[in-house]
Structure 1
Amino acid sequence: MLQLWNNMNILSNLTSPFPTFLLTGIPGLESVQTWFSIPFCFLYAIALLGNSMILFVIITQKSLHEPMYYFLSMLSATDLGLTVSTMSTTLSVLWFNASKIGLDSCIIQMFFLHGLNSMESGVLLVMAFDRYVAICNPLRYTTILTNFKIIQMGLLVVIRTVVLVAPVLLLVKHLTFCRAKTLSHSYCYHPDVIKLACSDTRVNSICGLIGLILTTGMDTPCIILSYIMIIRSVLGIASPEERHKIFSTCVSHLGAVAIFYIPLVSLSLVHRYGQSAPRVVHSMMANIFLLLPPVLNPIIYSVKTKQIRKAILNLLQTKYSNL
């Protein structure tokens, strides 16, 4: 009788046109995960406030209307999008244990999650190009990085994202899900979703890998190459003070690169090779990957970039004086 019931459940899942997934909060700590929502809310608030502040000061302060800050505003916009796209499901799971999500909603969330990650990788690449031009070819900086060229680069990043990410996610619609549909995270993540399919996922995996190679797989070597050329150029400068001054202009960007790529690579390795790792490890890596860049990027740029810090302080002083 039990076997018959199981077979009926599998048949129901196979024939259901609207499969539903279950999101996971913090495995093993479900009874106290409401308390964990407090630091999550705090981090989300920092991410939202910090990136909104960066965007606001760049838009309103004419002194920041330069290529470097335009690219920084793109980075803040993608971080804001990443935060908003996953905040609702994460807090719903932690607060109300509302873990159900439909396939279409899951695909939409994956589009924004993976698409914005691809865009952030592209933005970090154009920021590396900006640093290369500013340091290695400063006399032509304003003629190379015109407003028109900046718009072109931004559009190319968006178009690349849509072209590479959308087909991969549309293929998920054609999969059949007949296993226990419990995801490893509090949001939909493509490698996590396709692991639950009982149909052939080779095409999904291959297309996902191609998309990864053509985004972060290409961006990472280009960023490394740009810094090799920057280092070669800076080492040709005799004055140690000038070297230090030039290298200090790259610290913020290098920090943004590190806090984006290290969690991304770590989460990918955990999904691919860490099947035996405790579920809580998957959950923690997923949350670090999700929250670290949006939280730390505004802090890094506010602390290390004098112009941004000065603009934020002026804004706060103006608001305070008007009270």
Structure 2
Amino acid sequence: MDFRNFTILVTPDFTVPSFEYVENPKALGVGILIVYFLILFGSGVNIFTIVSDKSLYTPMYFFICNLSAIDILHTTSIALTIFSVFLVEIKTISYRACLVQMFFYHSGDLMEAVAIGIMAYDRLVAICNPLRYCAIITKNQIIMLIVFSWLFSLSLTCYLAFTAEGLPVCNPVLNLPFCDYQTFIRASCVNADLYLGKSGIIGFTVVFSSFAFILLSYAIIIVVVIKLSSESRKQMFNTCTSQVIVIFCYFMPKIIVNFASKFGVVLTMSERSSVHIASTFGPSLVNPLVYCLKRENIRKKVVSFFKIYKTSP
């Protein structure tokens, strides 16, 4: 048998730069590690509290539980690589591991955008059509919305991973302390603009379509709430405060970076890394804190749990 016509694709490990611009990488790594544990704790508390209390089996709490699971997935997808770079000083990642990390990182990002949009839809129905809320937001619809958001996001990321799979690598050096689609493509021997154009269309369509829907939803909510009495108006605005904070923390970094690039603002490697890390860990840290502190049911459940734990022998 003639093996001369067969070629073997050698996929080198990717190298993560030493990030000389970071004065104390270990201190930065410890800081990110603390934030990561807070995210795991806060999101875990939300999930445990909601799952263990049947009185919280309502649509909004199911959506909060879904968002907490996404936060854990999104941050965990890049946490181990960041810790290995800054704490253990392991500055390589294999080709396959890079692809897997890229897949889960972008899946979590798209899932979060869709999940926040679904929560805005829930508030829209609850405030604008309260009498038919239970008839519209049924248990089956909740499951369908959550399953759709996951499958939709995973399918889009599968497409991106499929386009990146098997690409030859010319410059196996990452510009970030973890793998994302942009850095992977720029390290490959291909026309980067062609591939990045596809990913840009997907990201823009999902993220900014969700943001546009959220803006429209809250515009309608504001019009409806203004017509209510002052007491009802205050109550309605309080129910939306938590989600407004979540929306701001997730979408604002993306909008700022997008407009900055449109106006020709070029970010340094340090600034790009900081924006990516902050936009990943920041919203995931804020989400459980906001919902634990703002939602009285969850807050009381958490306090009672720690009281029981403290008084137990």
In structure 2, the residue corresponding to 1:156 is in which secondary structure? helix
* Alpha-carbon offset, residue 110 of structure 1: 0.9
- Judged with a 3 Å threshold, the aligned counterparts in structure 2 of structure 1 residues 178 and 187 are, in CA distance, closer, same or farther, namely same
What is the aligned length?
307
- Confirm or deny that 1:170 pairs with 2:170: no
Contact 1:266-1:285 within 8 A present in 2 as well: no
Q: Which residue of 2 aligns with 1:6?
A: none
Three-state SS of the structure 1 residue aligned to 2:282 is helix
Structure 1 gaps of 5+ residues are 1-14
How many angstroms does 1:303 deviate by?
A: 1.5
- Name 2:34's counterpart in structure 1: 42
TM-score, normalised via structure 2 length? 0.92
Counting only pairs closer than 5 Å after superposition, residues 175-194 of structure 1 correspond to structure 2 as: 175-179=167-171, 181-194=172-185
Q: Which amino acid aligns with 1:119?
A: M
8 Å contact kept, 1:71–1:123: yes
Q: CA deviation at 1:267?
A: 4.7
Cα 1:87–1:25 shift into 2, 3 Å: farther
CA distance in 1, matches of 2:289, 2:83: 23
How far apart are 1:204 and its partner, in Å?
Answer: 1.7
2:11 pairs with 1:21: no
Q: Which residue of 104, 117, 134 maps to 2:109?
A: 117
Q: In structure 1, the residue corresponding to 2:176 is in which secondary structure?
A: coil
> Percent sequence identity over matched residues?
27
TM-fit CA distance, 1:275? 7.5
Separation (CA, whole Å) in 2 of partners of 1:16 and 1:159: 31
* 2:209 equivalent in structure 1: 218
Distance 2:192 2:74 in 1: 26
Residues 250-278 of structure 1: CA distance to partner in whole angstroms, max 9, x if unpaired?
A: 01011111111122334556678777433
TM-score normalised to the size of structure 1? Answer: 0.89
Question: Is the 1:122–1:157 Cα contact (8 Å) retained in structure 2?
Answer: yes
Q: Does 1:282 pair with 2:272?
A: yes
CA contact (8 A) 2:111 2:153 kept: yes
Deviations 1:211-262 (A, max 9, x none): 113311221111111101101110111x222211101100101111111112
Give the match for residue 158 of structure 1: 150
RMSD of aligned residue pairs (Cα, Å):
2.1
Question: Which amino acid letter does the alignment assign opposite residue 240 of structure 2?
Answer: C
Gap change, CA 1:117 and 1:25, over 3 Å in 2: farther
Which residue in the other structure is 1:5 paired with? none
The residue correspondences of 1:124-139 to structure 2 (distance < 5 A) are 124-139=116-131
Q: Which segment is superposed worse, 225-234 or 34-43?
A: 34-43
Equivalence for 2:283: 293
Shift of the alpha carbon at 1:207?
A: 2.1
